[in-house]
Amino acid sequence: VGERLYVGMDFGTSGARYALINKEGTIRAEGKREYPLYMSDETVDWVKSWRTTLFGLLEDIPVSLRPAVSSISIDGTSATTIIVDSNTGEPLCNPFLYNQSCPEALPIVKAIAPPNHTVCSGSSTLCKLVSWWSSLSTPKSSAALLHQADWLLWLLHGKLGVSDYNNALKVGYDPEIETYPPWLLSQPYSSVLPLVQAPGSVIGSMTEDIRTRFGFPKDCVICTGTTDSIAAFLAARANQPGKAVTSLGSTLAIKLLSTRRVEDARFGVYSHRLDDKWLVGGASNTGGAVLRQIFTDDQLEKLSEEINPAEASPLDYYPLQDIGERFPVADPKMQPRLHPRPKSDAEYLHGILESIARIEAKGYSLLKELGATPVDEVFTAGGGSKNEKWIKIRERVLGLPVRKALQTEAAYGAALLAMKGAVQ
């Protein structure tokens, strides 16, 4: 038997990627595709677009490597929901996109769910399901709810109605007791909910049709996936409690692996299960978007060279693009604070970078206060992670080692899930 390979696919907001890795985690092939735009009745036909992209990515996998593929897993955008006919798999309506809100369903959901539950948000999967269910004159007995990743995986394995507990969190699944809670099971629409497995567990073999069409081996299996942001965390391989990933993109998001589950709706903090551990997350509105309003990426690089990261900046800002913050301070009326602006642009930038680092540190101490495992090492991803001076500033402010994550693509994280499933 030669080298075995594992495929991960990431279906993000603007396009999809694949990564093909070997047992050592080395990337053997990778690629990406934009979503083609198909219209039907003046609305975008997302289902067709995703299906075309999935098969396009399978075609992009080098023919010579396909016979070595042991397993495939896929992550999708969280709370992107498709309701299909449970006999044929055909969609019964347009998919509900991750950020689509169903405000009319929110009071109904709030009336059945415990206060501050993850499903109590207009864009939760449960609100989407309730919205669809209430819009029907006759109940649909043969419907099945799938998340985007579940549906794409279904195209490959053919068993309808399987999900993973990361995707299922926003429909109300409780990963701690590994079941849907009683308040959900007592609802008439509970029959449409998918079966839930741990991310990266084998669902079944690839259908013979697809296997022979593309040249994948007979023992190629399809594994449950996860959400796109969890897949990006998995890519960094921060797999011990206390290891964390800070993503410095347009906003600042932190994710910490913890032995304890912590939740606090005030700060938008909740935990996803990862096997026997919990992935605790929080997202601040500060981040790179503010930097981009003030400096070009070129300026950011040049000005950063002038910064001495060993020196603390006396400037105390709270960089925000708009009014309002949720984490680590819950204050919807918080004003952005970017003054006084010193004459020197390098000093200004130093003050902003240092202030964002303090918000990051405050985020990790809040998670600790809420009961999470204390952070001991930070991996970093996103556009801000390439700034070496900022990494040094953050090491000083956090009092912890900060390292650039070697892998940050969600597709790579999904490939690790495929590997996990195949070697189990």
Residue ranges of E strands in 186-311: 195-197, 202-205, 221-227, 243-248, 252-258, 270-274, 277-284
Binders of ligand ADP: how many residues, by CB under 6 A? 16
CA separation for the pair 264, 356 (Å, rounded): 22
Structure tokens at 245: 């990933």
> Rule CB under 6 A: is residue 351 a binding residue for ligand ADP?
no
**Would you count residue 388 as binding ligand ADP (CB under 6 A)?**
no
Q: Which is nearer to ligand ADP, 31 or 383 (CB)?
A: 383
Is residue 4 involved in binding ligand ADP (CB under 6 A)?
no
Q: What are phi and psi of 192, to 5 degrees?
A: -90, -5
The residue assigned the tokens 């794409």 is 152
User: How many Å apart are CA 80 and CA 227, to the nearest integer?
Assistant: 10
Taking the complex as a whole, how short is the minimal distance between the CB of residue 294 and ligand ADP, in angstroms?
9
8, containing H or E segment: strand 5-11
The answer to whether residue 387 forms part of the interface with ligand ADP (CB under 6 A) is yes
Structural contact between residues 81 and 169, judged by C-beta atoms closer than 8 angstroms? no
Residue 359 sits at φ, ψ, to 5 deg, of: -65, -40
Q: Is 120 in the site for ligand ADP (CB under 6 A)?
A: no
Binding flag, residue 289, ligand ADP (CB under 6 A): yes
Shortest Å distance, C-beta 354 to ligand ADP? 12
Question: According to the binding rule CB under 6 A, does residue 53 interact with ligand ADP?
Answer: no
- Site stretch for ligand ADP (CB under 6 A), options 5-13, 79-87, 288-296, 414-422: 288-296
DSSP 331: B
Shorter beta-carbon distance to ligand ADP: residue 225 or 288: 288
For the bound state, the minimum distance from the C-beta of residue 303 to ligand ADP, rounded and expressed in Å, comes to 9
Fill in the DSSP letter of residue 209: H
Confirm or reject binding of residue 32 to ligand ADP (CB under 6 A): no
Shortest distance (Å) from residue 77 CB to ligand ADP: 13
First to last CA, the chain: 18
Judged by CB under 6 A, the chain residues 290 through 309 that form the site for ligand ADP are 291-292, 297, 300-301, 304
- Binding positions for ligand ADP, rule: CB under 6 A: 249-250, 288-289, 291-292, 297, 300-301, 304, 382-384, 386-387, 390
